[in-house]
Structures are given as C-alpha cells and as structure tokens.
C-alpha cells in the first residue's frame, strides 16, 4: 500500500503543473499572433495608432476566427432530438 502512495503523490503534484503549461502555451501563441497581426498591418502600409491600423488588427482577428471555425470538425452542422416534458 505504501508503494502506491509515492506515484499517486507525484501524479497529484504534476497535474497542476501540466495545466499551467497548457495556459502558458496558449498565452504565448496568442501573443505571437498579436505580433504577427501588427507586423502584417504594418507591411500592408497601415500606421500604428491610426483608426485604420486598429481596423486592420480587427480584420486579422476576424480572419483567424473564421479559419479556426472552418478547421474545427466539431463546429457547424448538427442534428439533435429532444423530448421536453
């Protein structure tokens, strides 16, 4: 019984660390996407601090969101049946 306590304890300590790693990866990816959006808008000739630059950033986000929806097999058409009582 004692031999099971150590692996269980290690597992219980490791799970929160894995969760934090996933959050960090998501935040890093989002930060990288923001940098890419800014650079893309600059490359297109928009000047930072202008309304047009802000609109460009929003359009980049919109394009990415549409692409993610199209790439997600769980998004879109579905069929459901329900019974209400």
Per-residue pLDDT, 71: 83
Q: Is residue 52 situated within a structural domain?
A: yes
Domain that holds residue 40: 34-70
d(C-alpha 37, C-alpha 61), whole Å: 8
Instruction: Work out how many domains the chain is built from and give that number.
Output: 1
Q: What is the pTM of this model?
A: 0.56
Q: Is residue 59 situated within a structural domain?
A: yes
Q: Which of 59, 35, 61, 56 is nearest to 46 (CA)?
A: 56
Confidence of residue 31 (pLDDT cuts 50, 70, 90): very high
d(C-alpha 68, C-alpha 61), whole Å: 10
Q: Is residue 58 situated within a structural domain?
A: yes
DSSP state of 50: S
Higher pLDDT, 18 or 31: 31
Please check the confidence at residue 26 and state whether its pLDDT lies above 70: yes
Q: Is residue 83 situated within a structural domain?
A: no
Please check the confidence at residue 28 and state whether its pLDDT lies above 60: yes
Please check the confidence at residue 59 and state whether its pLDDT lies above 70: yes
Whole-number Cα distances in Å, 66 to 37, 47, 75, 77: 15, 25, 11, 15
């Amino acid at each position: 019984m004692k031999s099971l306590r150590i692996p269980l304890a290690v597992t219980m300590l490791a799970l929160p660390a894995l969760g934090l790693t996933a959050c960090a990866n998501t935040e890093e990816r989002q930060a990288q996407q923001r940098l890419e959006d800014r650079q893309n808008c600059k490359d297109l000739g928009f000047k930072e601090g202008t309304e047009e630059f802000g609109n460009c950033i929003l359009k980049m986000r919109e394009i990415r969101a549409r692409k993610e929806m199209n790439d997600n097999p769980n998004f879109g058409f579905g069929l459901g049946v329900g019974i209400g009582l």
